[in-house]
Chains A and B, each alone.
Chain A
């Protein structure tokens, strides 16, 4: 029976960085789709370099818990997993299209289905919407409400902006929210000026980040003037220049994220049985969401 590896960044400094990877792994374990589910990290252990040897399975689905294609999904993870013959061109992606490629890990001679990142899967759009529901406490949130999807921006990786715009467009097409916009930390339109970009009295702000940390808990709340000092916290919602800002924190902490990871593996051929339905039920998603 195959194994699932959730490949995340982790941190040398922040103990909360691994929490989303652990939580989503546990959800998938409980659904029983895989004999083995293991978290692996760039900065923690097991490392990408050694995770495959900890598994009994000879066939492994690896899903990066990253929000966009780029340095980690294209260079670091395949290199550290020792995927023989890896070529990013095999993904044939324009920045948000990576699905999977099947290769052999040289050191352990195991078959690895290396999947695109969770953040660019179409079902990620549902997670963003559910994050908006969670933070407002309103399962029907949308009417008269603006939604800002916040990405890191292009200074670090141009695909980060593509992923942000991709989901923004998908949410906009549903017509559920009054206004939907992509905002960025380090390029125009900037999240600092969030109230300039929306006319709605209520705006939900969802950062397209995997884990809460410096950017989502310190930078963005201060930049949006939710608080002068992140250590003092902020209210949800907070009134900023007459607009009520519902700041959601990292989308990757939303329980439904487990569904995206599982969908990635299923798209790559994993037989996940009824696990997708189980995971959606348990994480508040609706069956066949996003289709």
Chain B
């Protein structure tokens, strides 16, 4: 606690203070100074100051939070578990740092001078890395560049895809810059998380989002409920996006797909889902047909393995000579050579021959 904080405490006492176990007020009978352990009433200024000096953490903690407001305040208090830990416990823990995972971000709060909080951000998988091994960024706008490409240099159109690259850290962020940086990594997540905590998250379900689309996305509302469920299963599970899906088909029809365990909610189908939904809405206009072509049981299993390997994005992991894996390149090339014509189409037999497109 410093002199500025003590003066501010005296001034604020007139309006009354209640913050994390500290209660202070000034009445005609003098000051009241209450801690979680004891209440002192009828104090003169000297006695009041003495109590403040004896409880510097409570005072500096109040001072730190006095000016904070809105979603950023709620978020930062969540980071340091203000709802669970008393001020003394928190200050002791903050010396080494209190951390939370936020998507693939690891947010750590530490104690600065006179109760100030300073924050560090790094990738969760870099939690145990030596600080010097991580590139230090002092411009929070760098976060926009870090989020643009994944480790392999591929573009990340979805900020909350679980493909954030590693190897960087932001340090000594103040509260405002922490929230701004987090929101450069994961836009609007703090705002929507805060709304959800307040019971005020404005969820827009798929049907409503689809119906307001125009132009080339006008067709999206033609997709039926089963199609919407398949979209959620394809695009919105934790392996694809770290937001927790809160929208459904509509407010009466829940989708039978996992919502995810993410810390922050997804309140509406995003632009990627809508763009993909457009593709599926068009494709789903086709009717199913019966095709007849020959495969051995192993070849059928191989096709299933190929679909699974692409869907799970593991084609890069299949070793070149691992011909035991159905999605191995040589295996796929052999199947193509054996079962498809020169255009790469399966050669059909029987009544549906020639209808192989």
A interface list, Cβ under 8 A from B: 11-15, 18, 22, 26, 29, 42-47, 49-51, 53-54, 56, 71, 75-76, 79, 107
Contacts and interface: CB of A to CB of B under 8 A. Distances in A.
A43 B187 contact: no
Contacts of B270: 45, 47
Interface stretch (B43-51, B141-149, B337-345): B141-149
B212 A45 contact: no
B280 to A, nearest CB: 15
Given A22-B144, A54-B188, A15 B271 contact: no
A107 B202 contact: yes
Contact of A50 (B148, B160, B187): B187
A45 B70 CA distance: 21
A45 B183 CA distance: 10
Contact of A15 (B155, B159, B267): B155
A12 B275 contact: yes
A26 B142 CA distance: 11
B30 interface: no
Contacts of B157: 11-13, 43-44
Nearest to B188: A50
A41 to B, nearest CB: 8
11 contacts: A13-B157, A15-B155, A26-B141, A45-B187, A45-B188, A46-B187, A47-B187, A47-B271, A53-B188, A53-B195, A75-B214
A211 B1 CA distance: 52
A48 B275 CA distance: 16
A22 B145 CA distance: 10
Given A46-B187, A53-B192, 16 more contacts: A12-B271, A15-B155, A22-B141, A29-B141, A45-B187, A45-B270, A47-B270, A50-B187, A50-B188, A50-B267, A51-B188, A54-B183, A54-B190, A54-B191, A75-B214, A79-B212
B141 to A, nearest CB: 6
Given A43-B157, A71-B215, A56 B187 contact: no
Interface of B: 70, 72, 141, 144, 148-149, 155, 157-160, 183, 187-188, 190-192, 195, 202, 212, 214-215, 267-268, 270-272, 275
A43 B191 contact: no
Nearest to A48: B271
Give me the 8 closest cross-chain CB pairs, A-B, nearest first. A46-B187, A50-B188, A15-B155, A45-B187, A53-B191, A12-B157, A45-B159, A46-B188
B70 A56 contact: yes
A156 to B, nearest CB: 11
Contacts of A11: 157
A54 B187 contact: yes
B187 A14 contact: no
A12 B191 contact: no
Contacts of A44: 157, 159, 271
A26 B141 CA distance: 8
Contacts of A51: 187-188
B276 to A, nearest CB: 9
A15 B202 contact: no
B270 to A, nearest CB: 7
Nearest to A42: B271
A12 B191 CA distance: 23
Nearest to A25: B141
Nearest to B72: A56
Contacts of B160: 45
Contacts of A14: 155
A10 to B, nearest CB: 8
A79 B212 CA distance: 9
Contacts of A22: 141, 144
A86 to B, nearest CB: 13
Nearest to B204: A49
A15 B149 contact: yes
A107 B271 CA distance: 19
A75 B214 CA distance: 9
B214 A15 contact: no
Contacts of A15: 148-149, 155
Nearest to B217: A76
Given A22-B144, A43-B157, A50 B191 contact: yes
Contacts of A107: 202
Contacts of B271: 12, 42-44, 47
A50 B265 CA distance: 13
Contacts of A47: 187-188, 270-271
A183 B267 CA distance: 44
Contacts of A49: 268
Contacts of B72: 56
Nearest to B194: A53
A278 B51 CA distance: 51
A43 B267 CA distance: 17
Nearest to A80: B212
Nearest to A47: B271
Contacts of A29: 141
A156 B192 CA distance: 36
B150 to A, nearest CB: 11
A54 B183 CA distance: 8
Nearest to A53: B191
Nearest to B270: A47
Contacts of A12: 157, 271-272, 275
A54 B272 CA distance: 20
A107 B200 CA distance: 11
Best-buried of A45, A46, A71 by chain B (most CB within 10 Å) = A45
A50 B189 CA distance: 10
A22 B70 CA distance: 26
A54 B70 CA distance: 11
A158 to B, nearest CB: 16
Nearest to B139: A26
Nearest to B154: A15
A29 B157 CA distance: 24
B269 to A, nearest CB: 10
